[in-house]
Amino acid sequence: MRVWATAVGAFSRLRPRAVRMSCGVLHHMSTSTVENVVIVGTGCAGLTAAIYTGRANLSPLVLEGPLPGGQLTTTSEVENFPGFPTGVDGFQLMQNLREQATKFGARFEQALVTSVNFSSMPRKLVAGDRVILAKTVIVATGASPRMTGIPGEKELYGGKGVTTCATCDGAFYKKMDVAVIGGGDSAAEEALFLTRFASKVYLVHRRDSLRASKIMADRATSHPKIVCVWDSVPLAVEGVGAGAVSGLKIKNVKTGAESVLPVKGIFVAIGHVPNTGPFAAVLDTDEGGYFKPAAGSQVRTNVPGVYVAGDCADHVYRQAITAAGMGCAAAIETERWLAEHGG
């Protein structure tokens, strides 16, 4: 099992300090040579894009943010990534991808992009006191799961019983009791998926009915393995001392009564926040804040030569393999764009 400190140490990076910049001071900052392609993000999408653009002799510059390797670095085992029949440690998978990208000429730098200017060529990305110039850009900044913030959640996240992905981790809880926190379609889908493995699934929601669509709500509430825990909010994750989840402490918002659900796994399903902030002013986004690709494409944006890939543009699947596929597509589109425009 890997912990966050280990992930940072192995990637030899420190968390950068965010710096606010205004467009008016861009000309005072140091600038670099014009890169063929700059890839922002080092999850499955970003690293796959780095592999493909590296093999195309484009010498991509890859910018690592505060979590090098993305969310998979906090996952103890990945069982559903093709090519690993016995599973693979999430941190090791990302390390492998990074080494493969480096082999093909990808260059890595730690940089937190705080603003961009895509109104002219070359494209400009501001990171600290530096302006990075690029002919093309692939944005693969991912999305962050919304967490409840209750005591014990952070300590037991990632291989210790608290997770945000039933598809990724559900199989680890065969014949165990688990809890899902949330009341929307995502929570209902997570709960239904978990019934394939768990003995019992507690669906904890602060209201007396689900916010999910009627069909999803009906499926969840009528399933014999799902126990709806209405009018309840989570208070704490128990089991920190033992290093593994042993229960979920909850409170009934109407009666004030507190109790503990004896579960081994807790699935937080209250949504995700796409990491699109610095780019949202220039790239089209949907109502949820996710990048909205141009018509007829999964990766092209409204700005020529700028592409998106992975969870920052995908709120439906959110899987490592689909993110990698989008990274591949974005890289191929980038190579073609450069070939057509004299890159």
Contacts of 158 (CB under 8 A, 6+ apart): 1, 2, 74, 75, 76
Cα atoms in the Cβ-side hemisphere of radius 13 Å centred on 224: 2
Catalytic residue among 165, 228, 311, 314: 165
Catalytic residue among 89, 169, 177, 311: 169
Q: Is 165 known to be catalytic?
A: yes
Q: Is 218 known to be catalytic?
A: no
Please give the sequence-ordered ranges of beta strands (E in DSSP) within 140-208, or none if there are none.
143-145, 162-163, 177-181, 200-204
Rounded CA separation 235/247 (Å): 11
H helices of the chain, in order, are 4-11, 44-55, 90-103, 166-169, 185-194, 214-222, 320-340
Helical (H) or strand (E) element with 38: strand 30-40
Catalytic residue among 44, 168, 228, 312: 168
User: 47: helix, coil or strand?
Assistant: helix
φ, ψ of residue 210 to 5 degrees: the values are -80, 150
Rounded CA separation 267/19 (Å): 34
Q: Is 228 known to be catalytic?
A: no
Amino acid identity, position 18: A
Where in the sequence numbering do the catalytic residues fall?
165, 168-169
